[in-house]
Chain A
Amino acid sequence: MIRFDGVSKVYPGGAVAVDNLGLTIPTGQITVLVGPSGCGKTTSLRMINRMVKPTSGTITVDGQDIARIRASKLRRGMGYVLQDAGLFPHRTVLDNIGTVPRLLGWKRARIQERARELLERVGLEDDLADRYPNQLSGGQRQRVGVARALAADPPVLLMDEPFSAVDPVVRDQLQSDLLALQADLSKTIVLVTHDIDEALRLGDQVAVLRRGGHLAQVGSPAELLAHPADDFVADFLGRDRGYRSLAFAGMPRLTLHAERTVTLGEPLPAGGPPWVLVLDAGRPQGWVRTEEVHRPGRRVLVDDLERGGNVARLDSTPREVLDAALSSPAGRGVIIDDQGEFVGTVVASELLALLELERGQR
């Protein structure tokens, strides 16, 4: 557990970066510090590993005041990921990852082994090991940055806008990979971002800061979306707050509907409903419109498919299920099981009715 107790940072000249911050960061969870630029989120993060010295107040890690721990020792026990990765240009990928183990005096063979293990862990191929950072793409560099931070298996991971410098597709992938990694590792992660969607997606706990270094609100994503403390937080959370809160709401017990289906490559039987779901080995491929495809002896081909409908899983959130229904050309959302096989469809109006009913009971 990391605790901020009355922590302030005032720069010479009187600029207040962080104002009397009190915050508890639970062990083994992701805490996101989010806010507009100038809200002191990065300063707060950098005070945890003493890259910035607080003007007043104390920060403790598991009850120990960090001001009493030697800076280099403290930092070697905390992984650090920067926005531009900050990889050492003169060192290979493998040597970059081995930075902290080398500082800790590990044996060469052990460092190599550990670095290769991490390379795989963060989803990079082994043949990148001997490349230099300038031969990598932005997303690859960021993955190496995460591997480097994890090298000595520190209990704490500090991440300063780790995914801001990559394009949205890569960012999405990096975010889900981080969540998968965290599910295995259970690190105490403190992540700074200005992107509220990233904060809500990644954070177990989200601390919203406002300009001047004040903590505006701290809570789980669902709490923030449901009960923003004030106008600033509500504004910062942005539009679609109600819709987005469905990503954190409990899923009501839904009735799944059976659906007329046809296997890809087979002819479409006569007299079906306007839309028929096409399966291949049990997996949904897309919808076909009966009146367009139905001819005697004609088979359903890949070109006939209307795609674009998202599918949801049995354990998806209401937001994903609703999205599946709304994006489906047939108006019915496709639900699959863990093997990716079709189990049934849902209708948006039924889900909404159940959500309303649930809200009424609360």
Chain B
Amino acid sequence: MIERIWAWLIASSSWVGPDGIGARLGEHVLFSVVVVAAAIVVGVPLGLWIGHLGRGRWLIAAANAARAVPTLGLLFALALWVGPHIPGRWAFVVPSLVALLLLAIPPVLAGTYAGVEAIDPAVRDAARAMGMSPLRVIRQVELPNAMPLVLSGVRSAMLQVVATATIAAYVGLGGLGRFLVDGLASGNYPMTAGGAILVAALALVIDAVLALAQRLLVPAGLREGGRERIASGRHTGNPATAGDPTVSPAR
């Protein structure tokens, strides 16, 4: 069995052509990246704004609750409902993208909000008291400090989207899910299993790429490990108070 899966995975015939692994992989990555990018465009500003104002927290709760809606059900509902109103190939693509977007927004939104919420109130207070405008406070202080949790949210959204984009193949989205659908339909188990392996591998690779991005985007002062190193530098002291070391003047 394993040999047959392996054989399917390495056969050049499986990789080329419009139905080949190469094309499907490209589709899968493209859809996932587009969906997560859209989730960032929506979720990050919204999360920053809610965190900054401390108002509208119900939106975060609502978004989290919406994660309980089964994506597969939502996908079919949208495809049946909205699909007929959209012409051509988009009839299948749009409902899939919308369902995946609804899946991707909550982690990004919640991560961003949690990141802003976790900032020491004294830091935000200082930013305002230095004379920063609200927009500057958000851009120069809140966003950089929220970055670790924003990126955790993005990673978690990306993983879910990559995994879930598989089932969108049922309504014609393409992507790696096609191998699972077609493999099951035609009893081609090496293709089914190979497709599943490819999805898992893709998820791992993308997560590794994002982990790297996280290291590059998180400001150095917020990285793990910095906290333990306490400065060894001494004060230069003040000549006014540097008295005789043995008998110091009464102060």
Contacts and interface: CB of A to CB of B under 8 A. Distances in A.
Contacts of A327: 250
Interface in B193-243: 219-222, 226-227, 229-231, 233-238, 240-241, 243
Nearest to B234: A125
A172 interface: yes
A194 interface: no
Nearest to B227: A134
Contacts of B235: 123-125, 139-140, 143, 173
A336 B221 contact: no
B131 A92 contact: no
B250 A324 contact: yes
A88 interface: yes
A139 B219 CA distance: 23
Interface stretch (B7-15, B19-27, B122-130): B122-130
Contacts of B120: 84, 86, 89
A116 B133 CA distance: 26
Given A176-B241, A283-B247, A320-B249, 10 more contacts: A72-B131, A76-B131, A80-B126, A100-B131, A125-B234, A128-B231, A128-B233, A131-B231, A131-B233, A180-B238
Contacts of B192: none
Interface stretch (A206-214, A304-312, A344-352): A304-312
B250 A312 contact: yes
The 7 closest A-B pairs by CB, nearest first: A132-B221, A86-B126, A90-B219, A76-B131, A75-B131, A86-B122, A310-B250
A120 B236 CA distance: 8
B59 interface: no
6 contacts: A80-B126, A84-B122, A89-B123, A120-B236, A283-B247, A312-B249
Interface string A62-83: 0000000001111110001011
B246 A307 contact: yes
A70 to B, nearest CB: 9
Q: Interface SS of chain B: helix, strand, loop or mixed?
A: loop
Q: Which of A51, A89, A148, A340 has the most CB of B within 10 A?
A: A89
A148 B243 CA distance: 28
B32 to A, nearest CB: 29
B247 A285 contact: yes
A272 B60 CA distance: 84
A162 interface: no
Contacts of A310: 247-250
B132 interface: yes
Nearest to B124: A86
B172 interface: no
B63 to A, nearest CB: 26
A85 interface: yes
B249 A336 contact: yes
A1 to B, nearest CB: 21
A111 B203 CA distance: 45
Contacts of B98: none
B222 to A, nearest CB: 6
Contacts of B222: 89-90
Contacts of B136: 103
A326 to B, nearest CB: 10
A90 B125 contact: no
Interface string A207-249: 0000000000000000000000000000000000000000000
Nearest to A158: B129
A88 B247 contact: no
B145 interface: yes
A82 B122 contact: yes
A133 B221 CA distance: 7
Contact of A313 (B126, B229, B237, B249): B249
B144 interface: yes
A110 interface: no
A149 to B, nearest CB: 9
B229 A286 contact: no
Nearest to B226: A134
B89 interface: no
A125 B241 CA distance: 17
A156 interface: no
B141 interface: yes
B251 interface: yes
A92 to B, nearest CB: 7
A111 to B, nearest CB: 14
Nearest to A284: B247
Given A135-B229, A307-B247, A92 B221 contact: yes
